[in-house]
Structure 1
Amino acid sequence: MSDVFKALSDPTRREVLRMLKSGPKSAGELAKAFPVSRPTMSAHFNALRAAGLVSTEKAGKSVIYHLNVSVLEEALLGFAGAFGLGSRPAPDASSERKE
């Protein structure tokens, strides 16, 4: 879980994940959206891959990135569960006090 949150701590990596929400994209396509060097983007991609947030496939000379939503969901649910969030049922409207 800590690798996921470390990866999510960077705004560039969060934006890459947002871009991948609409479907797989090549490394070049993703890199064009950011005013940073290719080695810097490569480091971002490596962090996302290490956290399991993205997977890759080779397509000729291109690397295609895919979003792994299940890893993100699992980390968020685990985090919420660690603090007891979401484990209590929602309050029943009829049991609220009326003043």
Structure 2
Amino acid sequence: MGDVWKALADPTRRKILELLKNKSLNAGEIAAEFNMTKPSISNHLSILKQADLVDSEKIGQNVIYSLKTSVLEDMLKMLSDLTGREDK
């Protein structure tokens, strides 16, 4: 879970996840949304992949990134379990 928290701590990575919420994109399409170098975007995508928050698939010359919701759903459940209270 530590990789997930690290990935979500950065606003650029959160914005990438927000973009991928709407549709799958290649790295160039993602980079076009930011004022930073493509290697920087690539590093952010690598961190998101390590945290298992995005999937990537090579199609021809492009790598297509898509949002993976299972880890986020697991985190929400864990947080819900931690904050849930039983009525006494």
Alignment TM-score, normalising by the size of structure 1:
0.81
Report the Cα offset of residue 87 of structure 1: 4.8
Give me the CA root mean square deviation.
Answer: 1.4
Structure with more of its chain in helix, by fraction: 2
The answer to whether 1:14 aligns with 2:14 is: yes
Indicate the residue corresponding to 1:86 in structure 2. Answer: 84
Query: Which of structures 1 and 2 has the bigger CA Rg?
Result: 1
Percent identity over the alignment?
A: 45
Alignment TM-score, normalising by the size of structure 2:
0.90
Cα distance in 2 for residues equivalent to 1:21 and 1:48: 14
Q: Structure 1 segments of 4 or more deviating over 4 A?
A: none
Which string of whole-angstrom CA distances, capped at 9 and with x for unpartnered residues, describes residues 22-45 of structure 1?
111111100110001111111100
Which string of whole-angstrom CA distances, capped at 9 and with x for unpartnered residues, describes residues 47-94 of structure 1?
00000000000111111001001111112322343xx313536xxxxx
Residue correspondences, number? 87
Task: List alignment gaps of at least 5 residues for structure 2.
Answer: none
SS of the residue aligned with 1:21? helix
Cα distance in 2 for residues equivalent to 1:56 and 1:87: 38
Task: List alignment gaps of at least 5 residues for structure 1.
Answer: 90-99
Cα distance in 2 for residues equivalent to 1:56 and 1:7: 16
Indicate the residue corresponding to 2:71 in structure 1. Answer: 71
SS of the residue aligned with 2:56? strand
